[in-house]
Amino acid sequence: MYAIIECGGKQYKVSPGNTVKIEKLPVEEGNEVILDKVIMVSTEDQNIVGSPYVEGARVVASVEGTGKRKKVLIFKQKTRKSTRKLRGHRQPYSALKIKEIVVGG
């Protein structure tokens, strides 16, 4: 069983037991999070696709921790000019451990 969820403008494929790094959430470590923007749920015998979201479906997860991703370098240079810019950015994330996928009810 797996589900496709939307969080922070991005889509993630999750299944129970997996750990997913998503955009940082304002939730403390160890607390539970309920993600209700479920786009699709797939079980062994059927696929449920929402328009845009599946009614009554949700994903229950617990926050394992927060951190920053690897540094992304942004380099800009103008041709035939002596103009250069180098910037770095580290995006914060929350690591979620997926507990269960609930469909309906």
pLDDT in tens, 32-85: 999 999 999 999 999 999 999 999 999 999 999 999 999 999 999 999 999 999
Distance, C-alpha 28 to centroid of its chain: 16
In this structure, are residues 56 and 40 in contact, taking their beta carbons and an 8 Å threshold?
Answer: no
- Whether residue 98 lies inside any domain: the answer is yes
Give the Cα separation of 46 and 71 in Å (integer): 40
- Whether residue 50 lies inside any domain: the answer is yes
Residue 86: Cβ-neighbour burial (10 angstroms; 0-12, 13-18, 19+): exposed
Residues 87, 89, 92: CA angle, nearest 5 degrees: 170
- Whether the model clears a pTM of 0.85, i.e. scores above it, the answer is no
Residue 3 scores a pLDDT above 70: yes
Number of domains in the chain: 1
- Whether residue 34 lies inside any domain: the answer is yes
Write down the pLDDT at residue 104: 79
Residue 105 scores a pLDDT above 80: no
- Whether residue 72 lies inside any domain: the answer is no
- Whether residue 18 lies inside any domain: the answer is yes
- Whether residue 28 lies inside any domain: the answer is yes
- Whether residue 39 lies inside any domain: the answer is yes
- Whether residue 16 lies inside any domain: the answer is yes
Domain that holds residue 22: 2-67+93-102
